[in-house]
């Protein structure tokens, strides 16, 4: 029997933290399905820079990913119902409440575990594991070039 795993996120500007999260999630099963959040559904932080389809296509190109999907516009559980995972793996720093997700899954009759991936520490001082920090560095670097 195939063990299906779901990971989800925004995945704007893929960085080593994303690779760690998806690799760890993939190791928990036989298939890794990744749900990429639609821009209009990202309300807990700045919206992604890259278009939905581009972010999905980049995630789908990663070797550890079996299939990447765009999230549903109104109901985040629609793709979960379609994929029928055995486990949902949350990123170590994602804002989601694992217990609330478990309750919502149970209310819908979806039987799957909810787990959380471990953190990946930077491997060297200047390594960036945050899309926001990468964007900040780009903006600052471009601003410095404009001053020259």
For residue 18, say whether it is annotated as part of any ligand binding site. yes
- Model pLDDT, residue 145: 75
For residue 11, say whether it is annotated as part of any ligand binding site. yes
List the chain residues with pLDDT less than 50: none
- Model pLDDT, residue 147: 67
For residue 16, say whether it is annotated as part of any ligand binding site. yes
φ, ψ at 107 (rounded to 5°)? -65, -25
Q: Are 2 and 87 spatial neighbours (Cβ–Cβ below 8 Å)?
A: no
For residue 77, say whether it is annotated as part of any ligand binding site. no
pTM: 0.92
- Model pLDDT, residue 148: 58
For residue 79, say whether it is annotated as part of any ligand binding site. no
Q: Specify the fold of 4-121.
A: Rossmann fold (3.40.50)
For residue 84, say whether it is annotated as part of any ligand binding site. no
DSSP H helical segments within the chain, as ranges?
16-26, 52-60, 78-83, 98-107, 131-147
């Amino acid at each position: 029997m195939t063990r299906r795993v779901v990971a989800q996120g925004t995945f704007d500007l893929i960085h080593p933290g994303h690779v760690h999260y998806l690799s760890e999630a993939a190791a928990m099963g036989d298939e890794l399905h990744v749900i990429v959040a639609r821009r209009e559904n990202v309300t807990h932080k700045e919206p992604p820079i890259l278009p939905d389809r581009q972010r999905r296509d980049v995630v789908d190109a990663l070797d550890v990913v079996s299939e990447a999907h765009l999230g549903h516009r109104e109901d985040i559980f629609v793709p979960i119902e379609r994929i029928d995972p055995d486990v949902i793996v949350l990123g170590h720093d994602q804002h989601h409440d694992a217990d609330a997700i478990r309750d919502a899954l149970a209310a819908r009759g979806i039987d799957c575990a909810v787990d959380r991936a471990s953190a990946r520490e930077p491997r060297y001082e200047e390594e960036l594991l945050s899309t926001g920090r990468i964007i900040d560095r780009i903006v600052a670097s471009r601003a410095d070039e404009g001053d020259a």
